[in-house]
Structure formats: structure tokens, C-alpha cells
Amino acid sequence: MLLSPAPQFARRLSLAAAHRGFSMRPASQTVYPMRSCAIERRFVVIQVRSVATPAGSVADFDEMLTSTKRKYYMLGGKGGVGKTSCAASLAVKFANNGHPTLVVSTDPAHSLSDSFAQDLTGGTLIPVNGVDSPLFALEINPDKAREEFRTASQKTGGTGVKDFMDSMGLGILADQLGELKLGELLDTPPPGLDEAIAISKVLQFLESQEYSMFSRIVFDTAPTGHTLRLLSLPDFLDASIGKILKLKKKITSATSAIKSVFGQEEPREDASDKLEQLRERMIKVRELFRDTESTEFVIVTIPTVMAINESSRLSASLKKESVPVKRLIVNQVLPPSASDCKFCAMKRKDQMRALEMIQSDPELRNLKLIQAPLVDVEIRGVPALRFMSEIVWK
Ligand SMILES: Nc1ncnc2c1ncn2[C@@H]1O[C@H](COP(=O)(O)OP(=O)(O)OP(=O)(O)O)[C@@H](O)[C@H]1O
């Protein structure tokens, strides 16, 4: 009998477990392969339970599924904790539950292709194979997006206009433009700029009719530092672009007066229109981040003191910026050791201490806690992601 990829993957684990005298258990009791211990290679039966019980109650995964209205999920956290794996597994779960889904990487160091084991590079929407409903992936090329932004701004306020203004005797305006330092901003973009441009690019895609079918959009975002700066960036860019556009208006009225003397035509659609569009999209990015109806930021972490402290800071910053956060995924939790493996026992003890911190952390304790075990197979490809999605998203 030909099995679909997920049952095949689960069956592989199940057979391996049965071979060792265990059986796969549904729901709260699950068998996880445990190969992290170098001395022995075995399977252990673990109880999937919450170490910390969140005070606030958030509906389960069903709540994420209901409503056909478009929803955005942003997964973020410290580098290497499993953001991509969680984002990709969420996208697979949405698609397999009937939601046409788009998963987007806005992390300049993309790993969606690795996670899906499929080439998703190129900056265009690529269908992911092996899922029930349409699932598309998009890896935004930040260099390309930044270049577009640079071209638009240079045409409007860069050296071209500056030289022109100098030649027209509008040196004062040229100096004001220089003060904006937009060129500098683009030459050495602050962390977060790539991300903001990438997200605005996605919104640009989604404005078109062609992409109206997507009811779930999952963002695999860049590590925490970028996210924090991203939150304040739309305001900053909005202000910068606003200044440029104001200056552009002044320049246009001055130059059109001169041009009209020489009978020159003004181009109808110019770079400032593009910049205005970009500005509008930035405003949309800002609004999107704060829209409790359609957006949720999911924090992904691992059970270490450093990662949990960073998650706490991230949560506080998101709260300050009014970004809706409900869930905290603690990934790579070691199953209880059934053997006398000292390394495993120590490691787990250490992880439990870190997990307990969540209960007393004012920023994290009210979030719905989701624990995902450390598994011994690399989470790559749709079958593996489907397997992970069954553990994480329920
Ligand atoms: N629960 C898990 N059990 C075992 N391996 C895992 C688990 N979660 C993630 N991994 C593995 O950890 C590695 C890093 O995961 P992933 O790329 O999802 O992290 P990330 O946070 O997106 O990283 P980056 O910050 O570099 O983008 C991958 O090899 C992935 O397969």
C-alpha cells in the first residue's frame, strides 16, 4: 500500500519503535526516538506535559484554523532555536487543514529551502510539493528589494536630483536632502530594514488579485535583534519618506516653473509615486503588526536561561509596541531519561530549571506554553514537518 509522506514518516518511527518493543501512542503519550545519547541508541516513552502552566488560557490550534479571513502568523526568536522548523510545520498544518497558505522567509539567511528540502530560492512564489491544499513558499531576496528601494529614493532625493538642484541654484534644498542621509541608510542598512522591506514586498504581492486565495500567511522572521528594530523601523522610514516627499513637492513646484518656461513636459508617473506607494506599504506593515484580529506573533525559544531571558525581552518589546503575542514554543525539550545516562539527566535537569523560569517570568507566564521535544531525526521535508506539526500545533 502506498502511504502519503506523513504516515510513511510516522510509520517509519512506529516500526522502529515496535522493533524495540514499544508502540506509538497517540495524544499525550508519544514515543520519541532518542539518539542524543551517544552511548545507547533507543526509544523512550515520554509524557508530553507542560512543566509550566500558563495562567492565561488561549484556545488550541483549532482557534488558529477557524475563520476563513486572512491571518498572519509571525514566528520569531533567538537564532537557531527552530523558528524555520516551527514556521514551516505550521504552514504545512494549515495547508493540510484546508487553508491555502503562503510561508515567507524574511530572514536574510534563508533556510526555508533546507527545511522543505526543496529549492525555493529566486524571490518568487514556489509551490511546495506533498501537501493537501495549496502551499506556496517565498524567500525574499533582501538585496533585490533594497536595490529597488534605493533606485526609487535616488531618483527622488539622491545625487541625480541634488546635482540638478545645484545647477538650478536650489542649493539649500540640496543641503536639506543631504541631511536626510538616506543614501547612507541604504549603504549600511540597520538591522530590521531588510525585514521591513521584505514584509512590505509581501504586502505588495498580496495586494494583487492573483494572491487573494491565501487565507494564512506564515512569516519565518530573522532573529530577535532584527525583529526589535523592525518594530520601530516603519515609523522611522515613514518619517524619512515623508520628509523626502515633502521636499520632492517643493522641488517639483520649483522645477516645473522653470521647465514650463522652456516648454518641457513633466513625466506623469515618477519615482515619487513609487516612494509614496512604499510609504503606504510601510504604514500597512506597522498596522499589520498591531492588528489583534489578523496577526499573531509566536515566540520560539529553547529551554536555556539565555534563550528564555531573550524571549522575555522580546515579549516585553512586543507588548510595548502593542504587537499581539499569545503563544510561546519551547523547542528541543529533552525527554526524561529512562537510563543512567548522566549527560541526559544533567541536561534535562538544566532544561527543567530554565522551563521553571517561565512560570515566574512576568512577561512569559501568561502565554500559552507549547513544548516541542528534541527529536533525533533532522526535521527536513514535508513528511518530517507534518510529523512536527502534529506535536507542536494541537
Ligand atoms: N525539535 C527539534 N528536534 C530536533 N532538531 C530540531 C528541532 N527543531 C529544530 N531542529 C533542528 O535545528 C536546526 C535549526 O532549526 P531552524 O533552522 O528551524 O532554526 P532557526 O531558529 O530558524 O535558525 P536561524 O536563526 O539560523 O534561522 C535544524 O537543523 C533543525 O532541523
Burial code (b: 16+ CB inside 10 Å, e: under 16) for 202-228 equals bbebbeeeebeebbbbbbbbbbbebbb
pLDDT at residue 2, as a whole number: 36
Pair 251, 104: CB distance under 8 Å: no
User: Could you tell which of 48, 84, 227 is best to mutate to test the pocket of ligand 1, judged by most ligand atoms within 8 Å of the CB?
Assistant: 84
pLDDT of residue 221: 82
What pLDDT is stored for residue 376 in this prediction? 86
Kindly give the distance from the C-alpha atom of residue 71 to the centroid of ligand 1, in angstroms, as a whole number. 24
pLDDT, one tens digit per residue, over 259-317 is 665 555 555 455 556 666 666 776 777 787 788 888 999 999 999 999 999 999 999 98
Q: Which of 60, 107, 114, 119 is catalytic?
A: 107
- Distance spanning both ends of the chain, measured CA to CA: 28
- Ligand 1 within 6 A of 222 CB? no
Per-domain residue ranges for the chain?
5-143+196-225+285-392
ipTM at complex level: 0.97
Q: Atom 10, ligand 1: which residue's CA is nearest?
A: 82
Cβ neighbours of residue 88 closer than 8 Å, sequence gap 6 or more: 103, 112, 115, 116, 220, 385
**From atom 19 of ligand 1, which residue's Cα is the shortest distance away?**
82
Taking residue 305's Cβ as centre, other Cβ atoms within 10 Å add up to 11
| pLDDT beneath 70: ranges in the chain | 1-59, 108, 142-199, 223-279, 282
Give me the pLDDT at residue 1, please.
34
Residue 166: per-residue pLDDT: 56
pTM comes to 0.74
Which homologous superfamily is 5-143+196-225+285-392 in?
P-loop containing nucleotide triphosphate hydrolases (3.40.50.300)
Enumerate residues 6+ apart whose C-beta is below 8 A from 201.
140, 145
Which residue has cell 545645484?
166
Please tell me the predicted confidence (pLDDT) of residue 91: 97
CA distances for 58 relative to 90, 238, 315, 328, angstroms: 17, 34, 16, 11
Query: Are the CB atoms for 222 and 108 separated by under 8 Å?
Result: yes
Element (H, E) at 64: helix 61-65
Distance CA 172, CA 365 (A): 55
- Please give the helix or strand (H or E) that residue 135 lies within, else none: strand 135-139
Is the distance from the beta carbon of residue 333 to the nearest atom of ligand 1 less than 6 Å?
Answer: no
Q: How much of the chain exceeds pLDDT 90, in percent? A: 33
